[in-house]
Every structure is written in C-alpha cells, then in structure tokens.
Amino acid sequence: MANQSAPFSRFEWLIAWRYLRARRADGGVSVMTWISLIGIMLAVAALIITLAVRAGFRDEFVDTILGSNAHVTVYNTVTVDDFGNTTRTMADYAERAAAIAEVPGVTRVAPLVKGQVMANNNQSNSGVQVFGIAADDLLGIPRIANPETAQGDITRFSEGIAIGSGVARELGAGLGDRIKLISPNGVKTAFGTSPRVSAYEVVYIFTAGRYDIDRTRVYLPFAEAQNYFDRDGVADELEVMVEDPEAVDDLTLALLNAGGERTLLWSWRDASGSFLKALEVEDTVMFVLMSVLVLVASLNIISGLVMLVKNKGRDIGILRTMGLTEGAVMRVFFICGALVGLIGTVMGVIIGCLFATYFDAILAFVNGASGGGVWDASVRGIYKLPAKLEFWDVAKAVGLSLALSFGITIFPARRAARMNPVEALRYE
C-alpha cells in the first residue's frame, strides 16, 4: 500500500509532524528545532528590514533632491565680453525658457539668478546661496512650497525673502525680522570695491527635508535678485522640471535642440549619480551579507535533522520493513526540515514587515533613549530614515530563505532514506 501511495501523502505529513513535536526523551530534537526556527526567523526579519530601510533611504534621498532642486539645469557656455570679462548669463532667457517649455515631458521652466553672499542678523552671520526666482515659479517647487513644513505666508514672497529653517536657526531669525545680505562684489569706486548690503524682511521659512539645503538656501524675488547681483535683463540659468525625473536622460537631445547652440545641461543624475551608484553597490553588499545570515541559520536545520535521523533509526528500520520506500522516508524527513524553514520564514516575514511598518516610531524611541545621537541630519543629509516595504524585496527574502532551507534539508533526508533497516534494527 505504501508503494502505491502518492508522494507527500497524508501519513508522511503525520509522521513528520509527530517527529517535530516529539520531546527529546522520546527521541525528538525539540531544542534544535526551536533553535533552527528562531534563527531562520531572525535572519529573514533582518533581511527584510535591511532591504526596507535601504529602499526608504533611497526614496527619501531622491525625493528631497527632486522636490527642491532642478531636474535639469540649463546654462550657457562661457563667453568673453568686450572688456575681457567671462560670463555665462542669458540675455534671451525668456525666449529660451518658452522654447524649452514646449519640449514634451517638461512641466516647468524657471529663470534663475544665483549668487553666494553673507547673511547677517544682529550679531549672527552665515554664508548662504541666494536663488532669485519668480513667485509663481517658487510655488511650483514641492518641497519648498509645502505648507505643512513651512512658516509664514508664501504669497508675500514678493515683499521680502524666503529662507531655509537651518539659515533661520543659524541667524536666530524669525518671521518679520529683517536680515542683511552682504556681497563683496559691490560698487566699484576710486577707493576700491565697496560691499553691497541690502536688508529684507523674512516672510517665509521653509524646510526642504535636506540639511544642506535648509542650512544654506535663500530665495529672493527674481527682479530684486537681478538688481542686487547686477544682472539687469539677464538670468544665470534655467531650472527645468520634468514629468519623469528617472528618465531625464531621454530628454537630453530635445532640451539641447530647444536651448540653442550655447546650451549646456546638468541633470540631477549628474549631480548625485556617484552617490546613487555607491548606494547600489552597498545594497548588493548588504544583501549578500544578510543572505549569509540566512544560510547560517538554515544550516542549523542539518544539525537538527542529523540528530533526528540518529534518534529515529529504530523507527526508520521498522517503517522500511513494513514496506515504506526510500522515497517515502526521504520525504518524511524532508518535510521535517522544510516545515522548520517554512514556519521560520513566515514568522520572519511577519516580524520584518511589522518592524518596517513601525520603523519611524522605533527609530524615534531609540534616538530618544540614546540622547538623540542615533540620527544626525548634519551628517546624514536627511532628517529621517524611513523604511519602505516593497513586494519584490519581501519576495527575494522569502525565496532565498525557502530555497536554502529546502535545499539543505535534502542531504540529511537522503541519509535517512538510505539507512539499511537491518543495521538500524540489529541492536534493538
């Protein structure tokens, strides 16, 4: 009857389950079973958490870039004027912006005037980068115009200045304060160049989500920035936003053609590509390291099954003499190991997904308990470390764990199947 039974029949599952539940006094290896199960559970959970944190960090990093910076910056090649001065300014910025805006996939084009100056408020000073931009264009920058993380009224931008929260903190400035912008490139006189100093009311304080942006960036109305930096009638560059930033390289040729002969491009991938590539390498390394943990945890299954086979030698001999085939014996012990791997994997997925779901709260608790030194935005660049669960990341962790657990189980199961029933019963 056993020879005619289908593989993985009900009685094979019953025998395997009974062996797994057996106490050590009855020839079971419950302690080793629990060690194997817990090891796989923790390894799978660690792998899922690592992949989720990696995905969350990349998304947050990229989102802060795309949400507060140009997807593509259009600027001019260097030219020399009649006085021998080099310049990249655009006199025809309005026409070129209109032409680039017609390119399919472009959502917004904004002329900019940029410069680095010293900001002063009472006795506090800080180096800042000024972006001269039109009020309507400022409203189109998601991370800057987000009312949930900002203070003040962005509709009053034309009446003053918008500064990052880090700049406000460094200067000790708040809404309504007047801060001075001091540029060393001022008016040339017979006695030398006098610094240019202008005071502006702080009407808006934004938090872009990146420490370096909030710490250095200041927005000034476009016309006022032209006047302050002596850029009358010209712009320094064009800020271009596109529908699909990930495919920005596909628009390169169209943007160059629309921009004209002197056009040069600098995309967000050019600015952050090396860091993103480093993240990809780190992702691969972390996946390999976490996979080794899963492998080590799976190897515990071999120890448990080898002990189980040794303890159940008499049972194997009796089952074989009753007509149980080698394949049936092998499947019984394969089910023992596979169940450990399967249950451990399922528990690991549950723990890993729960940890990733509540990762923000867990990190906040750890950060508070350690005195706030776990996550330093000035070092990390972003203010938070979110975790993002992705289906394929969980699927990779599950597939790896099950493949290793099932594969490793085959060896001790084959050893049990090939056991000679006569030798197994000789000393019984």
pLDDT at 62 exceeding the cut of 80? yes
Least confident residue range of 31-35, 46-50, 391-395:
31-35
**In DSSP terms, which residues pair with 67 in a beta bridge?**
none
pLDDT at 366 exceeding the cut of 90? no
Backbone angles phi, psi at 408, to 5 degrees: -70, -30
Predicted confidence at residue 373, as pLDDT, reads 62
**Average pLDDT of span 214-238:** 91
Which residues touch 12 (CB under 8 Å, ≥6 apart)? 328, 331, 332, 335
pLDDT class of 1 with cuts at 50, 70, 90:
very low
pLDDT at 424 exceeding the cut of 70? no
**pTM here?**
0.75
* Distances from the Cα of 166 to the Cα of 163, 173, 212, 246, 378, angstroms: 8, 10, 8, 29, 10
Length in residues, the chain: 428
Contact 259, 100 (CB under 8 A): yes
| Structure confidence by residue, pLDDT tens digits, 152-208 | 999 899 999 999 999 999 999 999 999 999 988 766 655 556 678 899 999 999 988
| Cα torsion through 19, 20, 22, 28, rounded to 10 | 80
**Average pLDDT of span 53-58:** 86
**Average pLDDT of span 389-402:** 90
**Average pLDDT of span 324-333:** 74
**Average pLDDT of span 210-232:** 90
**Average pLDDT of span 43-53:** 91
CA–CA separation, 116 vs 346, rounded Å? Answer: 55
pLDDT at 408 exceeding the cut of 90? no
